[in-house]
Amino acid sequence: MDVEDELRRGPPTSDTPGGDCKNVCVRHARMANGATNLMLQKSIENLGSHEQQAVNTIWSLFSSAPAKRRLLILRGLLTIACPSQLSFLQEALALEMRIDPVEVLPREVTLKVFGYLDAISLGRAAQVSRAWKGMADDDLLWRTMCEQHIERKCEKCGWGLPLLGERRRKARLAMNALPSSRAGETSRGRDSDRSKTSSPTPSRPQSPSGPRARQALRAPPEAAPTPPLTRPWKHVYCERLAIERNWRRGTCSATVLSGHTDSITCLQVAEDLPHPSFPVLMTGSWDRSVRIWNLETGKEVGILRGHTRGVRALQFDALKLVTGSMDSTLKIWNWRTGECMRTLRGHRDAVICLTYDKQLLVSGSGDSTIRVWDFGTGEVYSLRGHSEWVNSVALWDSKSDGCEPASSSSAGGTPLAGVDTVGAPISNPELAKQSAMGKYLFSASDDTTIRVWDLYTRSCVRVLSGHVAQVQSLKVYIVGSHLRAANATARPDCTANQRLPQVPAPGVPSFASSTGSSSNLIGGGVVGAGQPASTSRENDFEFPHDKKPMVVSASLDNTVRVWNVEKTQCVRQQFGHLEGVWSVDVDKLRIVSGSHDRTIKIWDRDSGKNLHTMVGHKAAVTSVLLTDQSVISGSDDGEVRVWAFAPKDT
């Protein structure tokens, strides 16, 4: 009778949808379903007025009832319902019980949940609905994804992505932001310090051919700074993912650059120059020339001639090019105009390799010595220890923030972004000496050894032995502190010379000015050839940074080796080449090697697994270079090949 009374009185005056659960009920917190309400409206309009009032009263009573009474009413309805009605309830409940967490949960909570998904799962989530797509495409999620993968291997999935053109864009923006007066002061400072580097032996070589080529290489007039362009992080990730997939599949397109008339000996590419706008590739050859290429079009834009014998090594930056030749000289060029600004003499045999930073130029020679030329003070000294040709050198500054080494140019190589090769050198002798603190030099030789030199003490601190034939190339890369010995105790941060016991070098003469003859330039800071390879001083040596250098070396014994420098251990040998390996390069993900067997091999840097073997050269591969999206190789067949892994529309 109570229910009949309720029906006679009609709906309650105070309608409280949801009863006592309205504050926590997920369904009441959402908007009404328009399609469902329209269907109910049409159905109730087909009823008589009395029936409409009865149905409306039942709905109102259930809506205003507390939770316990609702459950009681539902149990009663289920008891008296027919099977067909129960079937209808089952189908309806399957749809109604679906709750979209993206619409229900706060955005912060949903982002936290989506943050545990990988890139593939995020892509699938974006296909669920518009709400899911908006959440899965959130820029914060993809920025985190990029930080986990770009230029490093993700700890979860093992994938790493290339950096691509970020360094190039940053360099251009930084250069555009410089005021014109400051740029002029920097240029004048370099010109004034250049006269101290060596005895002037100027020459007038052939400049880049054609007025258009010269105009393309010369710096443009001062322009207004351009604002940086931004893109969604998801686009950044997808762009790099497409290239990384090609790396893993070995999918690439080869472009041949022809122009040299003899074997290619060295090469280097720069993609981060403020000008010109295209990536610049330079190649040296036994034909005594250096050729400049537009890497985007594959066209030659300049030729530098001046050496009387083959060019064996080169390295360049935005301001200068340094070349080493079989004619025993090094030349410093303004490569934009083709002018040879200085010729450095001192070696008694061919200059085989070189590398430099903003303060020091280091060259290795067939006379088995290494010469260090100070750009700022004009000081020159030699390092002795190798007994045969010095084939490759590389600088590493342990004080640099990025802990990145400057790679050598003996068989190609690109100075990494963390190395400061542009800037005014220090002219004060004392300050220049202090700037060498924490700087190390790595050298490889035909005597089958690799030596590590402390440029502050000017002494050899490590000798890596293990190759059974001439070591032709080496590269340095950095690893974290996880490779340190487990029993190593923490030590306070200090400079390199504080970790080494100070061993006096009696009878060390002072360094002569570079304007003297070659016989006067060889002196102080020399490590004798008879010095033992392993001493107690070397065993106690430890690099002053948490990140430690590793060396990758290539030898004519057909192997590529990876060395732990601090422990003086060969941690891995990589076999696969059928003949001697002439050149090697490395980045944060891969190792690439070129061999006399005319093949190029790509290896996984961490595991040493051979990923791909590329064939195309018709003679020995003498130099290889690894970039984010390509491998560049030079060969005795006189060709330069660019193996591009980027999709054609990238």
CATH superfamily to which 175-644 belongs: YVTN repeat-like/Quinoprotein amine dehydrogenase (2.130.10.10)
Chain segment 209-267, per-residue pLDDT in tens = 555 655 667 766 555 555 556 778 888 888 888 888 899 899 999 999 999 999 999 99
Q: Quote the strand ranges of 258-400, DSSP E.
A: 264-270, 280-285, 289-294, 299-305, 311-316, 321-325, 329-334, 339-345, 351-356, 360-365, 369-374, 380-384, 390-397
Low-confidence ranges of the chain (pLDDT < 50): 1, 3, 7, 11, 13-16, 166-171, 173, 178-205, 402-418, 481-539, 650
Q: In the prediction, which pLDDT does 371 show?
A: 96
Peptide bond into 221 cis (omega under 30): no
Q: Quote the strand ranges of 480-538, DSSP E.
A: none
210: exposed, middle or buried (C-beta count within 10 Å: 0-12, 13-18, 19+)? exposed
Q: In the prediction, which pLDDT does 21 show?
A: 58
Chain segment 59-87, per-residue pLDDT in tens = 888 888 888 888 888 888 888 889 888 88
Round to whole Å and give the CA distance between 377 and 365: 22
Contact 475, 407 (CB under 8 A): yes
Q: Domain limits of the chain?
A: 2-99, 102-137, 175-644
Q: Give the distance, in angstroms, between the CA of residue 209 and the centroid of all CA atoms in the same chain.
A: 34
Round to whole Å and give the CA distance between 319 and 272: 13
Q: Read off φ and ψ for residue 507, nearest 5 degrees.
A: 75, 15
Q: In which residue are the tokens 């996984």 written?
A: 604
Q: In the prediction, which pLDDT does 62 show?
A: 85
Q: In the prediction, which pLDDT does 500 show?
A: 30
Q: In the prediction, which pLDDT does 8 show?
A: 54
617: exposed, middle or buried (C-beta count within 10 Å: 0-12, 13-18, 19+)? buried
Q: In the prediction, which pLDDT does 516 show?
A: 35
Round to whole Å and give the CA distance between 261 and 229: 42
Strand partners, 554: 473, 560
Residue 480 to residues 153, 157, 201: CA-CA distances in angstroms? 13, 19, 45
Round to whole Å and give the CA distance between 361 and 465: 26
449: exposed, middle or buried (C-beta count within 10 Å: 0-12, 13-18, 19+)? buried
Contact 446, 470 (CB under 8 A): yes
618: exposed, middle or buried (C-beta count within 10 Å: 0-12, 13-18, 19+)? exposed
Strand partners, 373: 361, 380
Q: In the prediction, which pLDDT does 316 show?
A: 95
Contact 308, 327 (CB under 8 A): yes
